[in-house]
Amino acid sequence: MARIGIFYHTDPVGSVPSGIDSFIRGILQWAPPDLDYTLFGASSDTAARPLGQESVLRIGDRVARFVP
């Protein structure tokens, strides 16, 4: 399994209108199942997603890790 890290400039759970959000979600949703993704980025809610602590994101049927 290949592991891929993506630097994500905002909180993927937060609501920020931009094309990059749709692009990243599309990558995660339609990527081959043998790819494992980790997003590194910001957190807009440090109580729910503390800095430096890994959390799990569900996008469609896929699961990705997020490290704020």
Domain borders along the chain are 2-67
pLDDT at 23 over 70: yes
Instruction: Find where tokens 């602590």 sit.
Output: 53
Mean pLDDT within 45-55? 88
Q: What are the tens digits of pLDDT across the range 6-22?
A: 888 777 776 666 677 77
Q: What are the tens digits of pLDDT across the range 33-45?
A: 889 999 898 888 8
**How many helices and strands (H and E) does the chain possess?**
1, 4
DSSP letters, 20-41, are: HHHHHHHHHHHS-TTEEEEEEE
Question: What pLDDT shows up at residue 19?
Answer: 74
Question: What pLDDT shows up at residue 21?
Answer: 76
Question: What pLDDT shows up at residue 10?
Answer: 78
SS (HEC) of 38-64: EEEECCCCCCCCCCCCCEEEEECCEEE
